Amino acid sequence: MPTIEGQDENELLQDPLLQRLFRLFLLFAEPNPGQPSSSAPPGEPPRLTPSQTHFLPSSSAPPGEPPRLTPSQTHFLVNELFKLTRPRRPHVVQLPVQAESEPTNFRHLIEICDLLFPDRMVMGPIIDRVFDRYVSQIVHKGFLMCRKTTRRKGCIQTMKLGGWKSYWCTLIPGTIYLWPLDKAPTVANRKTLTLESSVEVEMGSFTDDRFTWSIKVGKATYEFGHFDEIQRNFWMRDMQLVSDHRSKAELLAFDQSESRRAENLGTTEKNLSWRLALEADNLRLTELLNEGRQALYDEEIVRTLATRMLEEEREKSERLEKMVTELETQLGAERLVRSNIEQRLREQTAETLASIESAARAGKLTKDQLDFLIISTQSI
């Protein structure tokens, strides 16, 4: 990529490679809130001149400036370019900090591409491939094999299989073009398969040393084959895409909606957010675990105290029961002693009264007997 330092806008867009990149930029760029409406037809990006302020840094851009790329769109476009050079890379490229949080103008996009793709020999085919996909809307192109299969009418339906032929195939919205390799690549020799909305791409089997899949167009069924299973998956995905979006406007709207998805942001931010979320969840779970442990510890303490209190109450109850038993035994003994004493007192009183009565009859009462008689009479 040529350096852009010291070059004005006209010099930048004189480069055919940057012209195609600028066309890609305009395809996904969105107008800012203060921008006046464009005169471009619906479904097409606004037409801008090279001298517009779109090349100015975002900090000095005036109100009503041309469209810019959002951070998710910047990730989408750069990753579409980057994955063609690093198809086995497990994660997307990390963009500068400014592109992660601020809209990106075309000059900043060139700077990013200049950092990621310093070799122009590598950058040229990449931009051409992405340009064909999103601007020319050639979803897929390449070599494959195809044959037409038809059902024979009759009591017993049979399948008539044609021979395999090699074709150069291109997919555009709603249409499949097949150019046979054994004929001149002219429009007259081209086969056109127009896809309907009900077309479904069906997975085939491994037949004749090739991986197959099929689609039904009208009353005919076309079976495709490829020697690479991974390429079969790519062809099936793209055929389903051109079947679901059968016009250029529908495919453009789909691509633009895909470019706005938040999932396009770099994995660094995703990993950071995931790590923060996992750390927060880990902290929450740790707090819950600590609270559970503390609750178990407190419950064990309460259980120990309750057991100790119950043991003390049981011992106290046993002591009280023992004391009650002793008191009952002592009370019974005291009652027995009292009853004996009362019995002896009654006997002694009766004997004394009898002796006094006998003495009284005889008229020989002593002074003590007379006092006892008086006291006994008073008590009665």
Residue 88, in any domain of the structure: yes
Residue 115, in any domain of the structure: yes
CA distance 126 to 120: 10
Do 114 and 14 lie in one domain? The reply is yes
pLDDT at 199: 81
Task: Report whether 293 contacts 103 (CB < 8 A).
Answer: no
Which residue, among 271, 245, 275, has the nearest Cα to 258 in the 3D structure? 245
Do 161 and 218 lie in one domain? The reply is yes
Residue 25, in any domain of the structure: yes
pLDDT at 43: 45
Least confident of 212-216, 235-239, 347-351: 347-351
Task: Report whether 18 contacts 55 (CB < 8 A).
Answer: no
Which residue, among 237, 202, 229, has the nearest Cα to 217 in the 3D structure? 202
Q: How many domains does the chain have?
A: 4
Residue 263 pLDDT > 80: no
Residue 194 three-state SS: strand
Note down the domain range covering 176.
Answer: 138-246
Residue 315, in any domain of the structure: yes
Angle, CA 189 vertex, CA 186 and CA 194 arms, to 5°: 105
- pLDDT tens for residues 207-216? 888 999 999 8
- Give residue 54's Cα distance to chain centre: 38
- pLDDT tens for residues 111-124? 888 888 888 888 88
Return the residue matching tokens 């309750």.
306
Do 16 and 127 lie in one domain? The reply is yes
Helices (H) and strands (E) counted in the chain, each on its own, are 10, 8
Higher pLDDT, 355 or 143: 143
Residue 320, in any domain of the structure: yes
Residue 102 pLDDT > 80: no
Do 77 and 174 lie in one domain? The reply is no
Residue 23, in any domain of the structure: yes
Q: What is the mean pLDDT of residues 44-69?
A: 49
Residue 176, in any domain of the structure: yes
Do 156 and 80 lie in one domain? The reply is no
